[in-house]
Amino acid sequence: MLEDLIVYAAVGCAGLYSGWRLLPAAARFSLAERAATLAQGLGLAKTDPDAVRRRAAARARSACGGCSGCAGKTGPQPVLFINRKDS
């Protein structure tokens, strides 16, 4: 019985994580902002209320809005074709 509960919890966490990662960036930022506001309203978080908004704005300025990993790249990589001559 305990093993079943552990497996259910692991599957549930994996499902929540994959659902979160597959959401569009705007939806993730909106949900994160609402969760931060709710946590502050309940007294669970004592952070700067504008911090989430500043982080969301900084991420939105990246290349595709989801991360900043490829923001410095100028364009797609060129494709190089190598033709081998048969002797």
pTM of the shown model: 0.45
- pLDDT: which is higher, 35 or 3: 3
For residue 8, what are its two tokens?
């259910």
Q: Convert the pLDDT of each residue in 13-62 to its tens digit.
A: 999 999 989 988 888 888 888 888 888 788 887 766 577 677 767 766 55
- Rounded-to-integer distance, Cα 28 and Cα 34, Å: 10
At residue 15, the pLDDT reads 97
The CA-based diameter of the chain, rounded to the nearest angstrom, is: 77
Q: How far is residue 63's CA from residue 79's CA, in Å, rounded to a whole number?
A: 21
